[in-house]
């Protein structure tokens, strides 16, 4: 029986047509619980974060956007004093909190 060493771990982050794509390791069966959008925040060049309006899983990646951030550069996930974890893999393990700049 194969065991999974952790929940989804951010591998890369890229800007893509007004959205930000996050690709994960340990992402087999990537799924969102609760309201995933409230776990993700995006910022543009000004550094002001806004909650994601749309969050979609595409294979081992997540695509997020916010209308207030037409050119996202930075994303945060579960980055607060009382974070909401909404991203899990098939083993039921949650993704770790992160803050990343699009490369």
48-93: pLDDT as tens digits: 999 999 999 999 999 999 999 999 999 999 988 888 789 999 999 9
- 103: tokens are 């490369």
Q: Which residue's entry shows tokens 């929940």?
A: 7
> What pTM, to 2 d.p., does this model score?
0.91
Q: How far apart, in whole angstroms, are the C-alpha atoms of residue 5 and residue 35?
A: 25
Q: What is the mean pLDDT of the chain?
A: 91
* pLDDT band, residue 37 (cuts 50/70/90): low
Helix (H) or strand (E) holding 11: strand 9-16
Q: Which residue's entry shows tokens 């409230």?
A: 38
């Amino acid at each position: 029986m194969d065991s999974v060493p952790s929940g989804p771990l951010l591998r890369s982050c890229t800007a893509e047509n007004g959205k930000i794509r996050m690709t994960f390791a340990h992402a087999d069966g990537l799924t969102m619980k609760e309201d995933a959008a409230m776990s993700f925040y995006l910022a543009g060049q000004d550094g002001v974060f806004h909650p994601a309006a749309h969050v979609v899983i595409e294979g081992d990646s997540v695509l997020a956007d916010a209308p207030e951030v037409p050119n996202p550069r930075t994303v945060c996930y579960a980055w607060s004093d009382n974070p909401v974890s909404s991203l899990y893999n098939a083993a039921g393990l949650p993704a770790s909190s992160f803050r990343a700049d699009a490369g």
